[in-house]
Amino acid sequence: MVRVSLRNIENYALHGITVEFPPGEISAIVGPNGAGKTTILRVIAGLTQYKGSVLFDGKAVDNIPPYRRNILYIPQRNALFPHMNVWENIAFPLKIRGFNKRVIEERVNWALKKLSIEHLASKYPSQLSSGEARRVAIARSLVVGGNPLLVDEIEQSLDVGIRLEIYEEIERISRERGLTTIIVTHDLEWAMNRADEIIFLWDGRVIYAGPPKDFEPHSVDPCKLAWFGSVVDASGLDENECYAIIGHERAPIQPCNVSRGVDKVYIPPDGAIVNQKGRLKGRIVWSGEINGVKKLVVDVDGALIVTKYNPHGVKIGSEVNIRILKAIPIKT
């Protein structure tokens, strides 16, 4: 396991980034486009210039070139070699590092089995689906060994079901091998449900870094909160029907795989609406647009909830009723 630390990182996209990535845990970096998420991975990997310091287990690696930082890096693009089959693509980084034939065969076969792609070994990239190609790219990155594991937006071009399957595989392998895993993702619901740590970036600055359960909505500017969503207390759980109890509201839990009590839930930015039949009543404290969608931030007995904006004539200070469409259980 390795602890990754960033100290006062500055460059064209990042401004004074100081953050810790705990050893052996999964950290998710989230934020809008252009926030600097991918740039953080590139800084850790040594693939872009920066001021400040990157430390692995307290030792600065700033003067160590990328190929000697012992990092596993899964980029956004699969970049598979079209003239090589799957087995050869996965073996390639081992061959250029000079591993012998026996080690190459052992590691490639291990990776094929771990990613459940043994049946694809003889196929070429043009014969693969997007999900299969992504698994091959992940196998190729993992096969060389190393720590930490950097993963950049695996959800691109994948449908929800395949994306979640791949996330599960990465999580399983990370925990089996004790990898410090840092994932850039736009999937806020997955991040708040499965990651150990969340790093929320905005314009190259850290808005929040810590466990999802400790996120404090009142500490965040309402505009940023309207993009991110909110964390609220839940007083109970109806396991039979998969509802969390929030005030007087029964909020549907997604995913419905909870077998324990729920103390806190994440309400995503599309997870609540203003509705006259809603059983939560609150006061509007902010209104505006995020990515062309009108949003409200509503104070409900001290809890801030982001809602879709649909009524006409409501103003800041107006009272509205809220209906929660989905609640994401937070890892505790």
- Average pLDDT on 237-260 reads 74
**How confident is the model over 272-288, as pLDDT tens digits?**
999 888 889 999 999 99
Distance, in Å, from the CA atom of 86 to the CA atom of 84, rounded to the nearest integer, reads 7
Tell me how far apart the alpha carbons of residues 16 and 48 are, in angstroms, rounded to a whole number. Answer: 16
Q: pLDDT by residue (tens digit) across 102-145? A: 999 999 999 999 889 999 999 999 999 988 998 999 999 899 88
How much is the CA Rg of the chain, to the nearest whole Å? 22
Q: DSSP readout, 218-273?
A: GGS-HHHHHHH-EEEE--EEETTTTEEEETTEEEEBSS----S--SEEEE-TTSEE
Beta bridge partners of 199: 29, 209
Cβ atoms of 182 and 149 closer than 8 Å: yes
Buried b (16+ CB within 10 A) or exposed e, 273-295: bbbeebebebebebbeebeeeeb
pLDDT exceeds cutoff 80 at 213: yes
Structure tokens belonging to residue 243: 């509802």
Instruction: Quote the mean pLDDT of the chain.
Output: 90
Query: Judging by DSSP bridges, how do beta strands 26-30 and 181-184 pair with one another?
Result: parallel
Reference 138, options 228, 222, 75; nearest CA is 75
Backbone torsions φ then ψ of 308, nearest 5 degrees: -70, 150
Give 320: exposed, middle or buried? Use CB within 10 Å, 0-12, 13-18, 19+. Answer: buried
87 has a pLDDT exceeding 60: yes
Q: For position 257, what pLDDT does the model report? A: 66
Tell me what the mean pLDDT of segment 41-50 comes to. 96
- Edge-to-edge strand ranges of the sheet holding 4-10: 15-21, 4-10, 51-56, 59-60
Identity of the amino acid at 35: A
pLDDT-derived band at 79 (thresholds 50, 70, 90) equals confident
Q: Domains in the chain, please, with CATH? A: 4-209 (3.40.50.300), 221-329 (2.40.50.140)
Q: Which range, of 41-55, 57-71, 162-176, 227-241, averages the lowest pLDDT? A: 227-241
Total number of residues shown for the chain: 332
Give residue 263's pLDDT: 83
- Is the per-residue pLDDT at 259 higher than 60? no
Going by pLDDT thresholds of 50, 70 and 90, the confidence category of residue 238 is low
CA distance 175 to 160: 22
Comparing 276 with 185, the larger pLDDT belongs to: 185
Of 11 and 293, more confident: 11
What's the average model confidence in pLDDT over 29-33? 96
Mean pLDDT calculated for residue range 297-310: 90
* pLDDT given for residue 148 in this prediction: 96
**Could you tell me the two tokens for 155?**
């959800």
What's residue 249's pLDDT?
81
pLDDT recorded at residue 306: 95
3-state secondary structure labels for all residues of 57-125: CCEECCCCCHHHCCCEEECCCCCCCCCCCHHHHHHHHHHHCCCCHHHHHHHHHHHHHHCCCHHHCCCCH
Axis crossing angle, helix 130-142 with helix 101-114, rounded to the nearest 10: 140
Tell me the percentage of the chain whose pLDDT exceeds 90.
68
Determine the average pLDDT of the residues in 25-29: 97
Query: Is pLDDT at 16 greater than 90 in this prediction?
Result: yes
pTM: 0.91
For residue 75, the model assigns a pLDDT of 85
Query: What's the pLDDT score for residue 11?
Result: 96
Question: Which strands, in side-by-side order, build the sheet including 236-238?
Answer: 236-238, 243-246, 249-252
- pLDDT of 102: 95
- Mean pLDDT along residues 146-164: 84
